[in-house]
């Protein structure tokens, strides 16, 4: 799997310089978003399939959460990151859309992420392979977070309502009687319109919907939220707290969406919702807020892996200072909020220096932080790593947010 040439080139130069300057200091233990070749120390991207420095084949081990250099042994692969284990490449490696590994003795052909695919794009259309590759890049990042958060996963063969993906294209020429493919979730099945992988088409959709942000990864993080709402919230004791925070989901869903598209959001939606679309129905509010939680832990983990520290050179710089010196997958919500607001202000400013859209074109109102804390608590309750005190946690997170009253000033997106 290769990254688009432009992106890869810039990253490669930056990484080589890092290696020259301080190979020792970028060896981060306990975080996973910065990987390195076990053979030569070259820093690697999560999606790399070959070490550009020593030439060894690479693969990702989801259980160990590590990219590993590989050596061919007896028709299978030996991983430099593990001792004595043998692996096969995922069945989708033949299309260069996946770099994950499967234990050699495993009956599964596909890796932990690809075994959930029910329908892949029609590869008779040559454009679709490039689209599928982008879709899988995003989907594998989603699975990285799902696995790190220890969220339960089941395939369709393990559970009739298990998680499955259909990647579908619109009927050719708008064939009569055939509806266009709608991206969405139903009973464990996530459908994605393959056209979302086409950047001009996605940008057109973003503008027509008036959205500040639209990505494949965002789609996956939103749709998976519907899957986990069914599992973590619907029939759980948390449903009452959910209804207090997000509203009553028994409200007619179809009518609510129709109203949203006909009348638009309430003028004060930003005081209560993370996006305008979140205000359409409690299910959509949950999905939009959940997607933001994933954006935050993933981005903060990357900042942590790079040892980012912010010390803004302005009079009130102390209020914007932050050290991303913690693993967000293990942190409490107040710590996540406390680091997130200064980090996004800094990175938005960097993006503007490059003439790019804001990386994070959103503001987090106290009501949204409360909802984020609810989601944080539901996720961590599943992995049962600690007792939860949601109200206490939410108040601490909101106080952290109020102390950091920066957010994203007037988004340019
Ligand atoms: Zn190497
Ligand atoms: Zn795979
Ligand atoms: Zn949705």
pLDDT at position 387, please?
A: 54
pLDDT at position 398, please?
A: 82
> Sorting pLDDT into bands at 50, 70 and 90, what band is 388?
low
By 3-state DSSP, what share of the chain in percent is helix, strand and coil, each rounded to 5? 45, 10, 40
What's the CA-to-centroid distance between 75 and ligand 1, angstroms? 21
What's the CA-to-centroid distance between 308 and ligand 1, angstroms? 25
pLDDT at position 254, please?
A: 96
User: Do 40 and 51 contact (CB within 8 A), yes or no?
Assistant: yes
Separation CA 217–CA 196 (nearest Å): 10
pLDDT in tens, 223-269: 999 999 999 999 999 999 999 999 999 999 999 999 999 999 999 99
6 pLDDT exceeds 60? no
4 pLDDT exceeds 60? no
User: Do 223 and 287 contact (CB within 8 A), yes or no?
Assistant: yes
Mean pLDDT of 182-197: 96
Three-class secondary structure of residue 72 per DSSP: strand
Buried b / exposed e over 255-265, threshold 16 CB at 10 Å, is ebeeebeeeeb
Neighbours of ion ligand 3 (CB under 5 A): 284, 287
What's the CA-to-centroid distance between 301 and ligand 3, angstroms? 26
What's the CA-to-centroid distance between 145 and ligand 1, angstroms? 25
pLDDT at position 23, please?
A: 32
What's the CA-to-centroid distance between 181 and ligand 2, angstroms? 24
User: Do 31 and 305 contact (CB within 8 A), yes or no?
Assistant: yes
What's the CA-to-centroid distance between 2 and ligand 1, angstroms? 16
pLDDT at position 394, please?
A: 82
Higher-confidence position of 22 and 56: 56
350 pLDDT exceeds 60? yes
Give the total residue count for the chain. Answer: 413
What's the CA-to-centroid distance between 251 and ligand 2, angstroms? 39
Question: Which of 368, 133, 396 is closest to 245 using CA atoms?
Answer: 368
- The values of phi and psi at residue 316, to 5°, are -95, 30
- 36 strand-pairing partners: 43
Question: Which of 184, 205, 181 is closest to 194 using CA atoms?
Answer: 181
- 184 strand-pairing partners: 191
What's the CA-to-centroid distance between 102 and ligand 2, angstroms? 9
Higher-confidence position of 167 and 396: 167
Question: Which of 174, 407, 392 is closest to 292 using CA atoms?
Answer: 407
| CA terminus-to-terminus distance, the chain | 30
What's the CA-to-centroid distance between 29 and ligand 1, angstroms? 18
Residue 223, classified by CB atoms within 10 Å of its CB into exposed (0-12), middle (13-18) or buried (19+), is buried
Say what the pTM is: 0.88
pLDDT in tens, 354-363: 999 999 999 8
User: Do 216 and 223 contact (CB within 8 A), yes or no?
Assistant: no
Among all bound ligands, the one having the nearest atom to the CA of 229 is 3
Tokens of 199: 């950047």
Quick count: other Cβ atoms within 10 Å of Cβ 156?
Answer: 15
Mean pLDDT of 324-341: 94
208 pLDDT exceeds 80? yes
- What percentage of the chain has pLDDT greater than the value 70? 87
Helices (H) and strands (E) in the chain, counts: 10, 13
276 pLDDT exceeds 60? yes
Average pLDDT in the chain:
88
> Sorting pLDDT into bands at 50, 70 and 90, what band is 409?
very low
pLDDT at position 385, please?
A: 53
What's the CA-to-centroid distance between 201 and ligand 2, angstroms? 26
What's the CA-to-centroid distance between 98 and ligand 2, angstroms? 5
Separation CA 363–CA 229 (nearest Å): 24
Separation CA 91–CA 361 (nearest Å): 38
Higher-confidence position of 314 and 388: 314
Quick count: other Cβ atoms within 10 Å of Cβ 310?
Answer: 17
pLDDT at position 358, please?
A: 93
Mean pLDDT of 66-87: 95
pLDDT at position 10, please?
A: 27
Mean pLDDT of 302-311: 93
Question: Which of 176, 170, 175, 173 is closest to 194 using CA atoms?
Answer: 170
Mean pLDDT of 63-74: 95
> Sorting pLDDT into bands at 50, 70 and 90, what band is 382?
confident
149-158: which pairs have CB atoms within 8 A and are 24 or more residues apart?
149/297, 149/329, 149/379, 149/382, 149/383, 150/382, 150/383, 151/228, 151/379, 151/382, 151/383, 152/231, 152/382, 153/112, 153/116, 155/115, 155/116, 156/116, 156/118, 156/188
pLDDT at position 8, please?
A: 28
Separation CA 143–CA 150 (nearest Å): 10
39 pLDDT exceeds 80? yes
């Amino acid at each position: 799997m290769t990254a688009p040439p432009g992106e890869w080139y810039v990253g490669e130069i930056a990484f080589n310089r890092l290696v020259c300057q301080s190979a020792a200091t970028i060896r981060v233990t306990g975080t996973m978003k910065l990987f390195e070749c076990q053979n030569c120390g070259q820093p690697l991207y999560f999606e790399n399939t070959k070490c550009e420095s020593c030439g060894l084949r690479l693969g990702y081990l989801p259980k160990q959460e590590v990219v590993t250099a590989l050596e061919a042994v007896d028709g299978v692969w030996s991983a430099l990151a593990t001792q004595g284990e043998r692996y096969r490449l995922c069945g989708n490696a033949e299309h260069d859309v996946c770099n994950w590994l499967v234990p050699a003795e495993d009956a599964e052909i596909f890796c932990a992420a690809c075994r959930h695919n029910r329908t892949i794009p029609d590869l008779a259309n040559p454009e679709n392979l490039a689209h599928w590759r982008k879709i899988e890049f995003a989907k594998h990042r989603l699975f990285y977070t799902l696995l790190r958060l220890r969220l339960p996963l089941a395939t369709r063969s393990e559970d009739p309502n298990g998680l499955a993906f259909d990647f579908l294209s619109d009927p050719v020429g708008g064939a009569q009687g055939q509806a266009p493919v709608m991206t969405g979730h139903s009973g464990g099945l996530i459908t994605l319109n393959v056209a979302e992988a086409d950047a001009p088409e996605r940008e057109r959709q973003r503008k027509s919907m008036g959205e500040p942000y639209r990505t494949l990864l965002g789609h996956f993080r939103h749709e998976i939220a519907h899957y986990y709402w069914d599992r973590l919230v619907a029939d759980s004791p948390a449903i009452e707290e959910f209804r207090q925070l997000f509203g009553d989901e028994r409200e007619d869903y179809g009518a609510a969406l129709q109203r949203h598209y006909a009348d638009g959001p309430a003028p004060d939606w930003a005081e209560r919702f993370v996006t305008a679309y979140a205000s359409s129905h409690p299910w959509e509010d949950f999905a939009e807020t959940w997607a933001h939680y994933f954006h935050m832990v993933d981005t903060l983990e990357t900042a942590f892996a790079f040892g980012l520290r912010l010390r803004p050179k302005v009079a009130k710089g102390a209020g914007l200072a932050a050290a991303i010196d913690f693993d967000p997958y293990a942190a409490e919500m107040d710590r996540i909020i406390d680091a997130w607001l200064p980090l996004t202000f800094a990175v938005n400013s960097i993006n503007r220096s490059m003439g790019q859209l804001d990386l994070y074109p959103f503001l987090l109102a106290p009501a949204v932080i409360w909802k984020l804390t609810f989601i944080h608590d539901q996720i961590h309750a599943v992995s049962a790593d600690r007792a939860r005190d949601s109200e206490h946690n939410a108040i601490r997170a909101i106080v952290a947010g109020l102390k950091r009253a920066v957010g994203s000033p007037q988004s340019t997106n």
